[in-house]
């Protein structure tokens, strides 16, 4: 019997947005802080950690309780590892991390292992850790530095000053509890791909920006301690070659994270049963790997991947967006954690400088620099990424690149640097200079 296609997770106007309030609800508990952060994922916790470290009074509101489930490949590139090192987090094996050497690529009948590049600006290793543990670790780190973290506190609405239209706080409404209002000079939306706060104030998803969808499942496997992140480039739905990839990331705990990621640049995007696709792919794996339906651990879960700045402006009227709330996932490889943490660090630095200004107008000028900082850092590269995903959305192009690119290791090393956005800004090699020049040349749209 044919299987019914599964609905694709989406963001934008299809997600119910919270009500906008101009007055605290009757009987609400009211707290004041310098900054309110909504969401304790990598973006929110990183923002809060740096703010607290600088002495800022910051309150974090997280709708769930830790540990909590999060759909992700659980793999961190050196770009994300750099952010952990900057935060002072121990990334050793003794602290529960599994290191990886680089990326193993399979496609076109070839198997190629590409070590992470040796760069002055980044570590030469990646990491793997389950998001259920990873997010909790970051939130606890922020709390240790002085942030006040409230779990089980879902935000139901932004609080707006009806005279200025500025976001001046949020309202959280937990079941069976009195409403909680937290007011702040700045509100940081780190509420993930739903973008509920952004939607509430009219910042919808930009329709022409790329979107992806990822589905993953854990499996008990003999490959659990693999020191390479493995990516399969020839992902097919029947005879169709899809613009995306499959992955197998060993977790080091007896299981592997196995998943598929697809881009919306293909006409097949909304007509695929993603769960069935993952099951078919797993069914074709060698039996000795031990990755079968019988070794599955838990259900298949999926999530949307907003890419390449899907919401703008990233700051306006007291509300600043970080991470997935701003659609900051790298279009080239689907990596989101590194950019969530980097945007959190940039946001925190700008907020600290803004709060030090003597007047409201001076603060606002500083806060308004945040979109410009993001555009300078990522704008050109994300434009290249959008062009890239449009290109590989054509099956013939994807087939050509897979079959004719993989046999050339030097070309693939260049491709790894480009797709993972791993270059030295200064004193890099010829590959770095080409990628950096292209990113500067491309318009930051």
Q: How far apart are CA 121 and CA 85, in angstroms?
A: 12
* Amino acid 7: pLDDT: 40
**Lookup: tokens for 16:** 């119910």
* Amino acid 18: pLDDT: 62
Q: How far apart are CA 128 and CA 328, in angstroms?
A: 21
The residues, ordered by sequence, that sit 6+ positions from 343 with a Cβ below 8 Å of its Cβ are: 43, 322, 323, 326, 328, 374
Q: How far apart are CA 323 and CA 329, in angstroms?
A: 7
Structural domain spans, the chain:
29-100+128-207+308-384, 211-306, 386-441
Answer whether 252's CB lies under 8 Å from 100's CB: no
* Amino acid 12: pLDDT: 39
Answer whether 209's CB lies under 8 Å from 310's CB: yes
Angle at 251 between CA 249 and CA 254, to 5 degrees: 120
Pairing of strands 186-189, 29-32: unpaired
Q: How far apart are CA 138 and CA 133, in angstroms?
A: 9
**Lookup: tokens for 254:** 């007896």
Closest alpha carbon to 382 in 430, 418, 425: 418
Query: 211-306 maps to which CATH number?
Result: 3.30.9.10
Q: How far apart are CA 158 and CA 22, in angstroms?
A: 8
The phi and psi torsions of 345 (rounded to 5 degrees) equal -65, -45
Closest alpha carbon to 201 in 154, 247, 155, 239: 155
29-100+128-207+308-384 to CATH, choices 3.50.50.60, 3.30.465.10, 3.30.2350.10, 3.40.50.740: 3.50.50.60
Q: Which residues pair with 175 in a beta bridge?
A: none
Per-block average pLDDT, block size 10, for the chain (445 residues)? 36 52 89 97 98 98 93 95 97 95 90 95 96 96 98 95 95 86 97 93 90 93 93 80 87 94 77 89 88 94 93 96 96 94 98 96 97 96 93 77 83 94 92 95 90
Closest alpha carbon to 262 in 302, 222, 311: 302
């Amino acid at each position: 019997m044919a299987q019914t296609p599964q609905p694709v997770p989406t963001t934008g106007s299809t997600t119910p947005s919270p009500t906008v309030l101009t007055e605290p609800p009757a009987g609400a508990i009211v707290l004041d802080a310098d900054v309110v952060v909504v969401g304790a994922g990598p973006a929110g916790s990183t923002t809060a950690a740096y703010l607290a470290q600088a002495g800022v009074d910051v309150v974090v509101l997280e709708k769930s309780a830790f540990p909590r489930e999060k759909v992700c490949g659980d793999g961190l590139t050196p770009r994300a590892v750099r952010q952990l090192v900057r935060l002072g987090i121990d990334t050793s094996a003794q602290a529960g991390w599994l290191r990886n050497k680089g990326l193993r690529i399979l496609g076109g009948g070839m198997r190629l292992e590409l070590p992470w590049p040796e760069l002055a600006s980044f570590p030469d290793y990646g990491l793997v850790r389950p998001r259920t543990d990873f997010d909790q670790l970051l939130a606890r780190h922020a709390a240790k530095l002085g942030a006040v973290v409230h779990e089980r506190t879902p935000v139901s609405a932004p609080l707006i000053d009806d005279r200025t239209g500025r976001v001046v706080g949020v309202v959280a409404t937990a079941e069976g509890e009195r409403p909680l209002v937290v007011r702040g000079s700045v509100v940081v939306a780190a509420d993930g791909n739903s973008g509920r706060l952004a939607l509430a104030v009219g910042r919808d998803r930009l329709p022409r920006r790329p979107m992806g969808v990822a589905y993953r499942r854990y499996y008990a496997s003999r490959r659990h301690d693999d020191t390479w992140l493995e990516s399969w480039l020839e992902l097919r739905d029947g005879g169709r070659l899809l613009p995306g990839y499959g992955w197998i990331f060993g977790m080091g705990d007896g299981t592997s994270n196995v998943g598929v990621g697809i881009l919306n640049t293909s006409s097949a995007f909304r007509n695929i049963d993603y769960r069935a696709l993952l099951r078919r792919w797993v069914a074709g794996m060698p039996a000795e790997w031990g990755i079968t339906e019988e070794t599955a651990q838990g259900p298949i879960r999926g999530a949307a991947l907003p890419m390449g700045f899907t919401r703008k402006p990233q700051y306006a009227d007291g509300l600043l967006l970080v991470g997935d709330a701003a659609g900051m996932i790298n279009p080239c490889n689907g990596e989101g954690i590194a950019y969530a943490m980097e945007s959190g660090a940039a946001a925190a630095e700008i907020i600290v400088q803004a709060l030090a200004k003597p007047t409201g107008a001076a603060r606002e000028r500083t806060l308004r620099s945040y979109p410009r900082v993001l555009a300078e850092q990522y704008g050109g590269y994300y434009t290249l990424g959008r062009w890239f995903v449009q290109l590989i959305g054509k099956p013939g192009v994807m087939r050509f690149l897979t079959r004719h690119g993989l046999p050339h290791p030097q070309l693939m090393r260049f491709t790894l640097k480009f797709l993972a956005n791993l270059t030295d800004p200064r004193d890099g090699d010829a590959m770095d200079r080409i990628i950096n020049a292209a990113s500067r040349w491309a318009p930051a749209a």
